[in-house]
Structure formats: structure tokens, C-alpha cells
């Protein structure tokens, strides 16, 4: 079981390709962004056990659901929202949103270490399918006249990128030595950033965001690798900078038992630690948004559910039935154990955003 615990925890993005290939997730972009790096087959080329694929499905389904509720709310209130994905890795969520029309989205920002963003920028530049969605017009009604014709953000269709990721393009620009990419309409931005330095997070993100727009930030398996005081500063910054904000965190909980001991030993052998994995359950994870140390008026409401609770009470039965036919999964008790140690937690502030929850 130690291998399963390690895989499900540590590399949530390269295991994503396994779940997509097996049919758990409908994602036409996974084969582009999750392909192995040049020079080796990589972890992503190997099929993962059913338990990992199921866990990846539940995590992705839950986070996708919260993001979609946020975008639906932005559409209803007539103001495009902003999504900031911290530690985005090879995530395809932006392109999946745009493939479905991108309604409610004003801009999407992804952040990760420079070596990660450089590879992603290269793959975006070399893929006509990815680059063609960077500036697709979005339908955003205005508060003054929701019945009027939409005023889309428009960029001309991009040319087919050359083999060089640094080539000039009318649809995006690349900077920071090839590690940053930005669409000409500012709909999508990819930034190289070390999240462990909270002051740099503020300095790099603020020029790309509008503090008056509804904003959602994602942190999937990110804060657990940071000291709690550092992640607290990031949560505080979002909560104090934006008048309407939703934060979503996915990571492990309850690591004071045998499960946690096994996980920590497994990571220690690989030179890794979890200084931020200090929450006992989903509710205490959610309470990070209500921590008095954040100050007053930051987040007003918070909640959380384990992946097992999401499986049992949130994911539609027909979806669970569909994925149950993909692979044989006999380890139901082991599945319960693993899913009970991971949760999705959220915090919200600002009118209209309190229903963005699972």
C-alpha cells in the first residue's frame, strides 16, 4: 500500500494521464500536456492501479465542480471571474473550460516553478490546438444590460507555431527566457514563480489581476509542502486583496495515524517532507480560511469534504456506475482509507459567492 499512498499524494498531475487514458476523465488535451519529456518515457507513460485512477477521478471531478460553480456565478452576476492555479503543473483545466465556451471566465493564471512552466510554454507553443484556445471570445453579459450582445475579447486566430517555442506569435508572447507565456488578450497567463516566497507571489501576480473581479485560487497538493505560516500568508493575501474571493485547497489530512506514518516514512526516503500537512480532518482544513491569524474580514464562510464523502454524497450515482465498469476494483476498504485521508476544502468571501461549494 505504500506505493499507492506515495503515488496518490506526490504526483497528482502525472497520474492524471493514466486516469484520462483509462476513460475515467474526458480530456482531449491530456495527451498533449502530459506526454513524457524528451529523452525518457517518464512516469506518465505507465498505467496506474485502479485505486489511483478512481482517486484521481474523484479529485478532478470535485475541483472541476467548484470551479464550474464559480464561473456559473460570475456569469449570473455579469462580471467575468479570475482563476489562479497555484502549482498548476501540466493541468489542462483552462483548455477544458475554453473548449466548453469559457463562459464566465475573464482570465486564467497558472503558476509553478520555472522548469515546469518552461516545458508547458513549449508544449503550448508547439500545439495549434492549445494555442488556438488562448484567445477564444467569451460571452460575458454586462451588469447594465445583460440582454445586449456580448463584447468578446478578440484576438485573430493564431498561426501554426514554429518548432521554436520562443518564436513571435500574434496570439501570445513568451518571456522570462521561455518560462512565461501570455495570450494577447490576457485571457491566459503562465508564470514562473516560487510559491515558497510569499512576497514574490504578491509582486508577480498583482499586475495580472483585477482586484475588483471575483477571483478563485486553487492549491492542489501545494500548501502541504510549505510551512503553515507561508501558506497562511498566501491565503491572507488573496482574502485581503480581492473583494470577492473563493479559495480551494486539495491535500491530505489526518496524518497522525498509521497511514500518516507510512506516508511520511515513504516521503522521507525520497528526501521529502510535509511541513504543511498539519490538519486532522476536513473541517480543520477548511478552518484555515477562518483562522483568526488572517485578520478580520478575510474569508467569511468555509467548508470541506473528504474524497470519500464526495464519493458517497456528491458525485452522481450514474457517474460512479460509469467508472465502476472501467476497471475491477476489489480493495473497497483500502479505497475508503485512502480517500478519507484527502479532502477538498474551500473558503469564500463577497456577495454571491457563498454557494460556491460542494
Q: Residues forming the annotated binding site?
A: 59, 87, 194-195, 220
**Residue list for the binding site for S-adenosyl-L-methionine:** 59, 87, 194-195, 220
Contact between residue 230 and residue 86 where contact means Cβ atoms under 8 Å apart = no
* Cα separation, 173 vs 190, whole angstroms: 10
* Cα separation, 291 vs 25, whole angstroms: 35
φ and ψ of 164, to 5 deg: -95, 120
Q: What is the 3-state secondary structure (H, E, C) of 270-326?
A: CCCCCCCCCCCCHHHHHHHHHCHHHCCCCCCEEEEEEHHHHHHHCCCHHHHHHHHCC
* Cα separation, 354 vs 302, whole angstroms: 9
Helices (H), the chain: 2-10, 16-21, 30-33, 50-77, 93-99, 114-125, 128-131, 198-205, 228-241, 258-268, 282-286, 307-313, 317-324, 332-339
Long-range CB contacts (< 8 A, 24+ apart) of 227-231? 227/275, 227/276, 228/275, 228/276, 228/278, 230/195, 230/196, 230/198, 230/276, 231/276, 231/288
Residue 191: partners with Cβ closer than 8 Å, 6 or more residues away: 109, 110, 111, 117, 180, 204, 205, 208
* Cα separation, 53 vs 8, whole angstroms: 9
Q: Using CB atoms within 10 Å of the CB of residue 323, give its burial: 0 to 12 exposed, 13 to 18 middle, 19+ buried.
A: buried
Amino acid at each position: 500500500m505504500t506505493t499507492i499512498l506515495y503515488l496518490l499524494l506526490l504526483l497528482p498531475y502525472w497520474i492524471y494521464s493514466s486516469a484520462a487514458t483509462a476513460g475515467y476523465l474526458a480530456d482531449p488535451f491530456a495527451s498533449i500536456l502530459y506526454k513524457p519529456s524528451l529523452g525518457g518515457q517518464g512516469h506518465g507513460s505507465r498505467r496506474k492501479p485502479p485505486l489511483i485512477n478512481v482517486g484521481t477521478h474523484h479529485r478532478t471531478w470535485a475541483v472541476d465542480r467548484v470551479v464550474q460553480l464559480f464561473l456559473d456565478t460570475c456569469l449570473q452576476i455579469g462580471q467575468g471571474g479570475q482563476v489562479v492555479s497555484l502549482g498548476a503543473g501540466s493541468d489542462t483545466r483552462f483548455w477544458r473550460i475554453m473548449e466548453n465556451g469559457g463562459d464566465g471566465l475573464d482570465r486564467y493564471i497558472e503558476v509553478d516553478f520555472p522548469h515546469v512552466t518552461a516545458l508547458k510554454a513549449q508544449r503550448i507553443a508547439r500545439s495549434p490546438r492549445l494555442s488556438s484556445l488562448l484567445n477564444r471570445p467569451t460571452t460575458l453579459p454586462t451588469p447594465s444590460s445583460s440582454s445586449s450582445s456580448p463584447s468578446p475579447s478578440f484576438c485573430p486566430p493564431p498561426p501554426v507555431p514554429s518548432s521554436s517555442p520562443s518564436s513571435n506569435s500574434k496570439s501570445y508572447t513568451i518571456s522570462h527566457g521561455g518560462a512565461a507565456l501570455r495570450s494577447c488578450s490576457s485571457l491566459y497567463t503562465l508564470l514562473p514563480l516560487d510559491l515558497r516566497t510569499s512576497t514574490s507571489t504578491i509582486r508577480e501576480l498583482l499586475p495580472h489581476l483585477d482586484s475588483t473581479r471575483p477571483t478563485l485560487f486553487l492549491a492542489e497538493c501545494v500548501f502541504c509542502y510549505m510551512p503553515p505560516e507561508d501558506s497562511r500568508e498566501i491565503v491572507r493575501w488573496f482574502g485581503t486583496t480581492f473583494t470577492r474571493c473563493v479559495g480551494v485547497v486539495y491535500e491530505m489530512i489526518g496524518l497522525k495515524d498509521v497511514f500518516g506514518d507510512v506516508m511520511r516514512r515513504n516521503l522521507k526516503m525520497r528526501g521529502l517532507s510535509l511541513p504543511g500537512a498539519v490538519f486532522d480532518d476536513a473541517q480543520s482544513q477548511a478552518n484555515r480560511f477562518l483562522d483568526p491569524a488572517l485578520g478580520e474580514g478575510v474569508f467569511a464562510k468555509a467548508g470541506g469534504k473528504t474524497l470519500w464523502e464526495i464519493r458517497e454524497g456528491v458525485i452522481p450515482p450514474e457517474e460512479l456506475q460509469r467508472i465502476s465498469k472501467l476497471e475491477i476494483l476489489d480493495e473497497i476498504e483500502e479505497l475508503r482509507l485512502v480517500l478519507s485521508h484527502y479532502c477538498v476544502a474551500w473558503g469564500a468571501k463577497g456577495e454571491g459567492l457563498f454557494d460556491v461549494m460542494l
